[in-house]
Amino acid sequence: MSRRLGNQIRLGQPHSAALAAAAAATNTPAAVTPRLIPSPLPQSQPRPHKHKQFPYGGYQPPNSPSLYRNRGRGERAFTTTPRWLVSGAGAGGGDSILDTSASHLTETEQMVRDGVLAVCARFPSAWWRERDELGADPAEFHAALAAGGWLGVALPEGLASGSGLGIAEATAMMQAIAESGAGMAGAQAVHANVYATQPLARFGTAEQRASVLPRVVSGQWRVCFGVTEPDAGLDTLRLKTVARKENGDGNEYYRVTGQKIWITCAQVARKMMLLARTTPLEHVRKPSEGLSLFCVDLDRDAPGLAMRRIKKMGVRAVDANEVFFDDYRIPADTLVGPEGQGFRVVLHGMNAERCLLAGEALGLGYAALGRAAQYARERVVFGRPIGQNQGVAHPLADAWMQLEAAKLATYHAARLYDQSQKQSQSQSQQETTSTSNASVTAVGVAANTAKYLAAEAAFRACERAVLAHGGMGYAVEYDVERWLRECLVPRIAPVSREMIMNYVAEKVLRLPRSY
């Protein structure tokens, strides 16, 4: 979008014209219909074992049981693959996606959603199952989004080919990715490239922006976010990673020592947005001072840097890591924003991240619910579809209502974030200082609330989708088990449910702080 689609995504332009132009720019049909699509994996790439070809371009390991072969009188007989698993615009099938967008998205957000779904249609659920099984990075998917300019969706127009849109549009993009069948793996592959660049775009120097952002938007570089630590957890203000400023050879630099954990995409990232303490805690007036944000190069050949990949329950296609720094040297010009004010700077990324993660959770929930509803219509037992039974229908209906409510909170938070950014840019420095705390708190409450509600709704939808499938909900090729494993991520990260309730109790209800 930023390089090719940016001129088409404008308010007031007819939806069909903008979508057609966007589709042409990405070499993807504007009207995506379910069809047979080959896997985007290169044909020359060796397979780990011999596979049986699926008609939708996926792969079935040898001796994998076919689904529903003549189960009995009155039952629907499936052979190998139900028809809704044919790849298309939806969550593994064009008619299984729940089109819930018309009632809440702006015209621009809808265009973003449609354009991203068109790209996602080239990567069917079978491809994502294979990525999950192999623990292989979805590099082709990341490259496809970058080729369309989608990674610059939330960057200011004119900055690194940014689109001039906002976190609301980026949230629509992340929901579409997860909802397409890619799940959290697809969303997390591009997640940090959207939110981690927000502090750099706002507080970075002209040289930093010119050096980093174009390469991130083009897909040449990837970014990770280095905040969480094993000993600090959610107590970010007491993190132990330190950056000591030194002089040598006529140059200023910092030496970083410490450890980060649960750093997504560190194995493939070129840059890390690193939060470290530059002033000891005992020398500052309050814990939020003395932290600094850096945009550092992850040079695997340089001394003082090591990584270890963490084996995970879900989202296996995207790496999560422990990152170790031992006197790792970084140039002084990697500092983003004023020294000692890193926590205030990084908040611009944290609140944006919560909005994006809420969108991802929504997409995951809608994907699972769409698949479950389709299955409940198709699966016939005792002479009628199982969805005709209230014991199946009511839990799915309840899950849909919970998703719809969470969706309203999510897009409210994303638009509030965008509004606060525009206001702070238009105000004078004095006005910004006097209103920033109130604005950050309001956005923080909205973003945390959205993340909480969306994560809970997604978990409910994914769990009920598995149960609606009965025994087949445990089968890998139906995808719902993968989405259930993945839906735990937004419940846990980047902040727990309990800490969100603590935050809301303190900031909204004005109750005494409990921690």
Q: Is 371 exposed, middle or buried (0-12, 13-18, 19+ CB in 10 A)?
A: buried
Prior bond of 138 cis (ω within 30°): no
Classify residue 482: in a domain, yes or no.
yes
Q: How far is 313 from 221, CA to CA, in rounded Å?
A: 27
pLDDT score at 5 = 55
3-state secondary structure 279-315: CCHHHCCCCCCCEEEEEEECCCCCCCEEEEECCCCCC
Of 276, 311, 342, which marks where a domain is finished? 342
Instruction: For residue 182, give the DSSP letter.
Output: I
pLDDT score at 316 = 98
Of 327, 342, 357, which marks where a domain is finished? 342
Element (H, E) at 117: helix 107-120
Asked whether residue 300 falls in the same domain as residue 352, the answer is: no
Classify residue 282: in a domain, yes or no.
yes
Q: How far is 145 from 161, CA to CA, in rounded Å?
A: 14
Residue 252 scores a pLDDT above 50: yes
Residue 80 scores a pLDDT above 70: no
Asked whether residue 289 falls in the same domain as residue 147, the answer is: no
Asked whether residue 64 falls in the same domain as residue 188, the answer is: yes
Q: How far is 9 from 172, CA to CA, in rounded Å?
A: 14
Asked whether residue 62 falls in the same domain as residue 147, the answer is: yes
Asked whether residue 33 falls in the same domain as residue 82, the answer is: yes
Classify residue 153: in a domain, yes or no.
yes
How many domains would you assign to the chain? Answer: 3
Higher pLDDT residue, 93 or 491?
491
Residue 10 scores a pLDDT above 70: no
Q: How far is 162 from 4, CA to CA, in rounded Å?
A: 10
Q: Which structure tokens are listed for 435?
A: 């209103």
Tell me the CA distances in angstroms from 238 to 172, 192, 411, one per residue in order: 34, 23, 32
- In this structure, which amino acid lies at residue 377? R
pLDDT digit string (tens) for 116-149? 999 999 999 999 999 999 999 999 999 999 999 9
Residue 499 scores a pLDDT above 90: yes
Specify the long-range contacts of residues 205-212, CB closer than 8 Å, at least 24 apart.
205/333, 207/333, 208/295, 208/333, 208/334, 208/336, 209/159, 209/160, 210/160, 212/271, 212/295
Classify residue 274: in a domain, yes or no.
yes
Classify residue 435: in a domain, yes or no.
yes
User: Which one, of 270, 249, 263, 243, lies nearest residue 319 by Cα?
Assistant: 263
pLDDT score at 266 = 98
CA 190 to mean position of chain CA atoms: 6
- According to DSSP, the residues that pair with 331 across neighbouring strands are 253
- In this structure, which amino acid lies at residue 89? A
pLDDT score at 162 = 77
Q: Which structure tokens are listed for 22?
A: 């966007």
Altogether, the residues listed in the chain come to a count of 515
Asked whether residue 414 falls in the same domain as residue 336, the answer is: no
Domain containing residue 267: CATH number:
2.40.110.10
CA end-to-end distance (rounded Å), the chain: 44
Residue 81 scores a pLDDT above 70: no
pLDDT digit string (tens) for 462-495? 999 999 999 999 999 999 999 999 999 999 999 9
The domain of 391 spans 343-507
Q: How far is 126 from 428, CA to CA, in rounded Å?
A: 52
Confidence of residue 88 (pLDDT cuts 50, 70, 90): very low
Task: Phi first, then psi: give them for residue 252, nearest 5 degrees.
Answer: -95, 140
Over pLDDT 70: what percentage of the chain? 78
Residue 394, helix vs strand vs coil: helix
Q: How far is 132 from 149, CA to CA, in rounded Å?
A: 26
pLDDT score at 2 = 43
pTM strictly above 0.85? no
Classify residue 214: in a domain, yes or no.
no
Residue 325 scores a pLDDT above 80: yes
Asked whether residue 349 falls in the same domain as residue 303, the answer is: no
Pairing of strands 223-226, 271-277: parallel
Classify residue 8: in a domain, yes or no.
no
Of 317, 342, 367, which marks where a domain is finished? 342
Asked whether residue 359 falls in the same domain as residue 324, the answer is: no
Asked whether residue 230 falls in the same domain as residue 89, the answer is: no
Asked whether residue 150 falls in the same domain as residue 269, the answer is: no
pLDDT score at 422 = 86
Domain containing residue 374: CATH number:
1.20.140.10
Instruction: Give one DSSP letter per residue of 61-95, joined into a string.
Output: -TTPPPS-SS-STTSPP--SS-GGGS-SSSSSSTT
pLDDT digit string (tens) for 422-472? 887 776 455 544 456 678 899 999 999 999 999 999 999 999 999 999 999
Classify residue 433: in a domain, yes or no.
yes
pLDDT score at 160 = 73
Asked whether residue 153 falls in the same domain as residue 27, the answer is: yes
Q: Which structure tokens are listed for 471?
A: 């025994």
Q: How far is 457 from 464, CA to CA, in rounded Å?
A: 11
What is the overall mean pLDDT for the chain?
83
Domain containing residue 64: CATH number:
1.10.540.10
Are the CB atoms for 29 and 117 separated by under 8 Å?
no
Asked whether residue 334 falls in the same domain as residue 357, the answer is: no
pLDDT digit string (tens) for 403-421? 999 999 999 999 999 999 8
| Runs of H (alpha helix) within 289-389 | 342-378
pLDDT score at 204 = 96
Are the CB atoms for 401 and 395 separated by under 8 Å?
no
pLDDT score at 97 = 57
